[in-house]
Structure 1
Amino acid sequence: MLPRITPDRLDAYEELLAALAESQVWMLLWHGGPGEPEAQYGSVEVEGHGYAPCVTSERELRESGWTRSHEVVGGRDIAAALYPEHWGLWLNPHAPGGGLGIPWLDLRRIAGGLDRLPAGPLVISEPSIRADAFYERLTLHARRTPVLRSLRRAWVRPAVGPAYLVIGLEVDEPGERTARAVRHMMRQAIAAVPDGLPVGTVAMADAFDPVAMWLRANARPFYDRDGIHRSGPGPAARPHGYGYPGPY
């Protein structure tokens, strides 16, 4: 599938991510052997971002000329291991053209479920669509939800799929009780959403979610239980893209 990946073929890239999630990669070990405590993956840096190099088959391993140890790892497993450290995965760096890098945000999508997390690069901005009745009802029910500290909003355009409204949820303490309370609040308010407007939510405490990152940096709360959030550029926040080391 790798030769099919071009900047204008995001559908092919999504297929590649799905294939990677269900297959294995041969991780190149710079130190140690498979399963050893001192084992360490190789590393490459591209535009200031770190990637762990790998190959995609036994044949590619032979063609790479790699003479040190290697380790065979499932795609989801390596994705889950790398993305929390903001490391990506570089496929077949020996191939003509230098192979292909998978940024850590896409590894997070592989680990968490491609159908659950939006395809990047994301373009994120303040919402321009009118949904005043929804915001008013959401604020009303937020006041009745003691575990909720604040609400923010953003407009997200993924690389694949429709744009949608995101509500950023800041809570006192995560947990099942909090999750139930927040779900109940959203159900109470969702009837006021304009017809045809997709709505999603994101936890503000998620340190790895690009939408939560943008909200923390750029959006003032439209509901603030404690009235302490006074910084941020507010409605004039500029659109910003997340998901890749550089422009596609």
Structure 2
Amino acid sequence: MLLWHGRPGDPEAQYGSVEVAGHGYAPCVTSRRELLASGWTREHEVVSGRDIAAALYPDHWGLWLNPHAVGGGLGIPWLDLRRIAGGLDRLPAGPLRITEPSVRADGFYTELVALAERTRALRSLRRAWVQPAVGPAYLVIGLDVAEPDERSAEAVRGMMRQAIAAVPEGLPVGTVAMADGYDPVAMWLRANARPFYDRDAPAAHDPGSLRQHGYGYPRPR
């Protein structure tokens, strides 16, 4: 049950709010019994978990369960609400540990660069190594597409289907759209990773020069 200031559906109505460590959460209770225990006398609304997750996470709001309970209840960050809304089987469990990849996959990267050069819809490629809280780690390729339309998306999907043949055996690979403003891997890539292919960069046309000059590759120690 979501707790409201004002009547749900009214233009001026707002969720209740809890701020923890600088992050906003909407308080809720998990049953009528908990509602009575909370002492909340204003409006409330019964909402399914997936519906409230889909409503809150786009504004980077989490959900705080039973804040009146002993110990202060339990907070669900907005990134976890995104998983609930999108499907727990589709999105990796957080918190994610994201780093630069150290796995050797030079043949795959070279093939990707060659295919990217022929895929006009693609602007750049980035990469990261992702360790979910549950499940095996995997390599992620960040795809920066020029136009967010279906034709461009299909061209990039076709490029990845061809490139997968060059992936080293046993190496799991995923992709993420760089334009996704809510994906934690895409956010990390935008903040921390230089492209290993960039259509607008002179070095991007020569996979060998990428390795030699460190464009997206660690420099030799």
Give the gaps of 5 or more residues in structure 1. 1-25, 237-248
Describe the SS at the equivalent of 1:169: strand
Q: Which has the higher contact order (CA 8 A, sep 6+)?
A: 1
Between Structure 1 and Structure 2, how many residues are aligned? 208
Match of 1:38 among 12, 16, 40: 12
Given that residues 218 and 234 in structure 1 are in contact (C-alpha distance below 8 angstroms), is that contact kept between their aligned partners in structure 2? Answer: no
Given that residues 219 and 235 in structure 1 are in contact (C-alpha distance below 8 angstroms), is that contact kept between their aligned partners in structure 2? Answer: no
Pair 1:159 & 2:133 matched? yes
Match of 2:24 in 1: 50
Match of 2:206 in 1: none
Give the gaps of 5 or more residues in structure 2. 204-214
Match of 2:173 among 195, 199, 215: 199
Ranges of 4+ aligned residues in structure 1 off by more than 6 Å? none
d(CA) in 2 for partners of 1:95, 1:220: 45
Task: Look up the equivalent residue of 1:47 and give its one-letter code.
Answer: A
Q: Superposition RMSD on alpha carbons, in Å?
A: 1.7
d(CA) in 1 for partners of 2:185, 2:137: 13
Task: Look up the equivalent residue of 1:148 and give its one-letter code.
Answer: L
d(CA) in 2 for partners of 1:137, 1:68: 60
Match of 2:3 in 1: 28
Shift in alpha-carbon separation, 1:225–1:212, aligned structure 2, 3 A? same
d(CA) in 2 for partners of 1:223, 1:157: 23
Match of 1:81 in 2: 55
Match of 1:63 in 2: 37
d(CA) in 1 for partners of 2:12, 2:47: 17
Task: Look up the equivalent residue of 1:166 and give its one-letter code.
Answer: V
Larger Rg: 2
Q: Quote how far apart the aligned CAs of 1:235 are.
A: 4.8
Pair 1:99 & 2:73 matched? yes
Shift in alpha-carbon separation, 1:123–1:228, aligned structure 2, 3 A? farther
d(CA) in 1 for partners of 2:172, 2:99: 15
- Aligned ranges for residues 1-248 of structure 1 at < 5 Å? 26-30=1-5, 32-227=6-201, 235=217
Describe the SS at the equivalent of 1:96: coil
Percent of matched pairs sharing the same residue: 80
1:141-167, Cα deviation, whole Å (9 max, x unpaired): 111100000000000000011000000
Given that residues 126 and 235 in structure 1 are in contact (C-alpha distance below 8 angstroms), is that contact kept between their aligned partners in structure 2? Answer: no
**155-164 or 113-122, larger mean C-alpha shift:** 113-122
